[in-house]
A and B are shown apart, each in its own frame.
Chain A
Amino acid sequence: MSPTTSGAVLNVGTREVTRAQVEDFLYREAQLLDEWRLDEWFTMFEPDGRMEVPTTDWAGWDATTAGFFVCDDYDLIRARVKRLKSRKAHAENPHSRTHRMVSNVILLEAGAETVWISANFLIHRYRDGGAYTYVGRYEHVLKVDDDGLRFRVRRSIPVMESMDPGARLSFIL
């Protein structure tokens, strides 16, 4: 991390990224996901972006050394979106209702064209008369472009000890 940054701003090349921009990006994502606007959500990834959900015993492993819940490359994210939009995605037909809270946004470090950020999330999901809570944090690598931010790596790290009864990850965590 560059010692000149205040924590609220990072310089990525000649561009400046502020915490407010990152928060807006994450809030918009939360809104798109809660409203099941998955095609729009998919445009938040750069081509070749990826998405990971490590398991609850995660100790920093990457997806070449450990099992994961999700390690989607770009094609798989597309397939996931297509699946979730289908009436035949039985685990999400009808869709879960989700309600996401994102907070504790931190700009971690700037790369040549990326910014690494972390945030906490709390997601409530309701379906079939059941209520489920997912608690965790995001650790994302965001590509910084003239027109804004995009996911290079979107990583959601659950902090629960296991997925509770009924709490499968059939939606986007």
Chain B
Amino acid sequence: MTQQTPVRPLGGAEGGALIDEDWEAMRFRVHRSAYRDPGVFRDEIAKIWGHTWLYLGHETEIPNAGDFKTRTLGGRPLIFCRDSAGEVKVFLNACTHRGTILCRHNEGNTKFFQCFYHAWAFSNSGDLAALPGDESYPDDPGFRESMRLRQVPRLQIHEGFVFIAFTPDVPDLLTHLGPAAHYMSLTAKIGQHGMQTLPGVQLYSVKGNWKLAVENAMDGYHFAPTHNTFVGYLRETGFAVTDDDQYAYDLGGGHGLLVLTGHNGRIGMVWEPRFGDEEKARTVAKRNEMAARLGPELAAEIADASRILFVFPNLLLFDLEALTIRQLEPVAPDRTDVRAWQFVETGEPESVRALRIKTMVSFVGPGGLATPDDIEAYEAVQRGIVATADSADPAHDWSDMSRGMANEKQGNQGRSIDEGAMRSFWRHWADRVGVATAVAGDPPADPGAPGPSTVFAAGSTATAGSAAPTTSGKE
């Protein structure tokens, strides 16, 4: 028996463990203050958002020189742009003079960002380009240099996915991503001519803690009860949804993966009746094209199963009927802003594009037939967990995530309908935030393969290129 931290008297997050893991009782609990407490939230922003790689956006959002988007990440306003030389740049969106928000548009194309307050202007590569009345400033090139726009300390791009960090002391992006990089590469390889995001971004906000959105995405257990009406719709369109053959993987570093076979059809990959006959023929052609371009094994790995990938802490990649990129931005303990992009094959026929958008938005997003029920779930948790706060019986102020521990203990692959992916997320979270974890009993000896074993076994030779994806972009 190992016991790293004494199990706290139940409850009381005051200096106590927020995670209570017991491999004798097969119990894993998260203290509910983790979703409520402003101090925990401040620590998350400082220790996670301030100190690790964050997903900012996709390169195809700014395809042309001069394109820009503004976006808040970790609470900091940013300019995400492509400079006139074509390089991706990310600046703090604040004038170096007095801190005014420099760019007040959501998107556009420009060579210069001009501050309206005293009219300083900066080139899209960050140089201070115009300084009205500059004769009153020291005649010193170092002065202008010191007033360049502030770039984020780290910027790296993996397969078009742009990540930034607000501190320089983070590991290389690929080291951070670990096996998650491979699954991002899989989605990036779908299109013969590449992949791109579309305009029409779903921007919405949820009255719930950001971690509830992560849990929900890694939680196959809720699918049937929460999405009963969506499952009913699928059944009526001629598709049987099953819970069989659905697994969860801990990719390390807080990243998680669900691999869902039989979850749904996949546009261009696995046909189902609601996609229509035209798509049936195209699916055969698309599968052949992928097999010829990528080899049969990699093509099958990409196409055969749906996947939900979580890249710690703020990126979710839903590779389902079609692809959606979802980004989480914590705003307050009980509020999360969400941004979601449709991610599509570049150059695909208009009819396929239309089918993809219709199908995907019928499921995901605040107007879909499924996501609103997920949002209802996180918001309902957020409302409900105040009931036990500071209660007479602190033992009640915990959420349970022990489903599947016995199976995990036996060394079996975790199912998506268990809670193993949530447990690995929470362990990593506790580690990052520096929160005490109480562990009793002996955890499973072998945490298991970091992904479907067939993938890495077969992939080590056949898909060497994808297993070691490249990064590009500037540090």
Contact = CB atoms under 8 A, between A and B. Distances in A.
A54 B205 CA distance: 17
Contact of B202 (A63, A67, A72, A166): A67
A71 B361 contact: yes
B379 A166 contact: yes
Contact of B203 (A56, A89, A130): A56
Contacts of B289: none
A169 B376 CA distance: 11
Nearest to B375: A168
B393 interface: no
A83 B233 contact: yes
B207 A166 contact: yes
Contacts of A75: 237
B199 A168 contact: no
A79 B233 contact: yes
B194 to A, nearest CB: 17
| Prevailing SS type, chain A contact patch | loop
A69 B367 CA distance: 5
A170 interface: yes
Given A57-B106, A64-B353, A89 B361 contact: no
A91 B351 CA distance: 31
Nearest to B202: A55
B358 A90 contact: no
A61 B367 contact: no
A68 B236 CA distance: 24
A40 to B, nearest CB: 20
Interface string A108-145: 00000000000000000000101000000000000000
B429 interface: no
A61 B200 contact: yes
Interface in B220-247: 226, 228-230, 232-233, 236-237
A146 interface: no
B365 interface: yes
A162 interface: yes
A67 B340 contact: yes
B335 interface: yes
Interface string A37-73: 0000000000000000111111101011111111111
A153 to B, nearest CB: 14
A167 interface: yes
A162 B329 CA distance: 14
Contact of A64 (B230, B357, B372): B357
Interface in A74-126: 75-76, 79-80, 82-83, 86, 88-92
A71 B367 CA distance: 9
Contacts of A59: 199
B383 interface: yes
A163 interface: yes
A164 interface: yes
Interface string B333-344: 001010011100
A165 interface: yes
Contact of B207 (A61, A86, A165): A165
B350 interface: yes
Contact of A165 (B206, B233, B350): B206
B354 interface: yes
B233 A69 contact: no
Contacts of A58: 200
Greatest chain B CB density within 10 A among A58, A161, A167, A168 is at A168
B201 interface: yes
B366 A57 contact: no
B301 interface: no
A86 B365 CA distance: 20
Contacts of B233: 79, 82-83
17 contacts: A53-B367, A61-B200, A67-B341, A68-B367, A69-B202, A71-B357, A71-B362, A75-B237, A76-B362, A83-B232, A83-B233, A88-B232, A165-B206, A165-B207, A168-B204, A168-B376, A170-B372
Given A59-B199, A72-B358, A164-B205, 17 more contacts: A61-B199, A63-B358, A65-B199, A69-B202, A69-B361, A71-B357, A72-B362, A82-B233, A83-B232, A90-B373, A91-B376, A130-B207, A162-B337, A163-B366, A165-B205, A168-B367, A170-B375
Interface of A: 53-59, 61, 63-73, 75-76, 79-80, 82-83, 86, 88-92, 128, 130, 161-170, 173
